[in-house]
Amino acid sequence: MKFFRALAAASLSALFVVAGNAHAATYTVQPGDYLWKIATAHGISVQQLMSMNGLTSYTIYPGQVLQVPGGSRTHLVQSGETLWIISQKYGIPLNKLINANPQIANPNNIWSGLSVNIPVKPVKFLNGQFPLKRGTYEPYTNNYGASRSWSPAGETVRSHDGIDILAAKWAPVYSVADGQVINYGWNEYGGWRLTVQVDNSTAFYYAHLAGYASGIKKGSQIKKGQLIGYVGNTGYGPQGTEGKFEPHLHFGIYNIGSSPWTTVNPYDYLRWWELG
């Protein structure tokens, strides 16, 4: 299906850059949303979300477009600055700053007025590993919060709670961090999925898998970088359903310290891990 390619293009158009400021993304309010839910999912306070959008009340409505954090920011090089000086200014490892700027042919040769991309530093899991090997997946966008309509009961509008990364079927999937498998097996939404608890309050979610790596089961102890499964297109139906969308990895982050669990936008985390 061309659904995810169209979604990627739409998501790209939802991003915009303002030099020196956070690279903002947009989120379209879904039925049942409220400010606390949206703010928590994007790692900010309700007050910050209201300030970003000039809101004077807690009232929001389905279809309303809100600005939310995401992406990167830019820095205009000043006279005498080097990439190392800039990396120290923003508290970012030099290798990640270099990798975030492939357009700079020689990292040792920058000049005043040059625009440098500054990756967003996540609040935790800074040493995580990207779940797919470089060269095995396609460029992805911030499709967190996009509309989805399938449910076991029929067409029901809901909010996408992860990031989709298109890749070839059976591409290997690796664990982002150490943890323990707390959910394993079939889910009508996520197909063959894996939920790995990585600390007292957080779980990483890998969905639509074609299959699992040997030895993976509920209760398994997982190490960062360990092979855990393979990209597929399973889900959206009873056990064994596949082929209703293009093969991809759905990656999600859940705050499991609350009931019910709440989601966190994984985009900035994935971008950070992708930089090596």
CATH of the domain at 92: 3.10.350.10
- Half-sphere exposure in the Cβ direction for 226 (13 Å, CA): 17
C-beta of residue 184 within 8 angstroms of C-beta of residue 217: yes
| Residue 135 located in a structural domain | no
Residues 169 and 261 in one domain: yes
Burial class (CB in 10 A: 0-12, 13-18, 19+), 257: exposed
Residue 90: its pLDDT value, please?
87
| Residue 47 located in a structural domain | no
> Max Cα separation, the chain?
62
Residues 151 and 98 in one domain: no
| Residue 31 located in a structural domain | no
Confidence band for 65, pLDDT divided at 50, 70 and 90:
confident
Question: How far apart, in whole angstroms, are the C-alpha atoms of residue 86 and residue 76?
Answer: 10
| Residue 52 located in a structural domain | no
Confidence band for 72, pLDDT divided at 50, 70 and 90:
low
Residues 106 and 186 in one domain: no
Sign of the torsion formed by the C-alpha atoms of 156, 157, 161 and 163:
positive
Among the listed residues 31, 28, 37, the one whose alpha carbon sits nearest the alpha carbon of residue 7: 28
CATH number at residue 215: 2.70.70.10
| Residue 79 located in a structural domain | yes
Instruction: Supply the range of the domain harboring residue 110.
Output: 73-118
What's the pLDDT tens digit per position in 13-23? 333 222 333 34
Residue 167: its pLDDT value, please?
97
Provide the whole-model pTM: 0.76
Residues 184 and 110 in one domain: no
- In the chain, the number of structural domains is 2
* β-bridge partners, 150: 155
Sign of the torsion formed by the C-alpha atoms of 236, 242, 246 and 249:
positive
Mean pLDDT, the chain, rounded, equals 86
Residues 160 and 260 in one domain: yes
| Residue 35 located in a structural domain | no
Q: Between 272 and 154, whose confidence is greater?
A: 272
Q: What percent of the chain is predicted at pLDDT more than 90?
A: 61
Question: How far apart, in whole angstroms, are the C-alpha atoms of residue 242 and residue 255?
Answer: 28
| Residue 13 located in a structural domain | no
Asked if the model's pLDDT at residue 69 lies above 90, the reply is: no
Residues 152 and 228 in one domain: yes
Q: Residue 56 corresponds to which amino acid?
A: T
CA 95 vs CA 19, 27, 149, 241: distances in Å: 22, 31, 40, 42
- 99 SS3 class: helix
- DSSP 8-state code for residue 182: E
Question: How far apart, in whole angstroms, are the C-alpha atoms of residue 159 and residue 147?
Answer: 5
| Residue 26 located in a structural domain | no
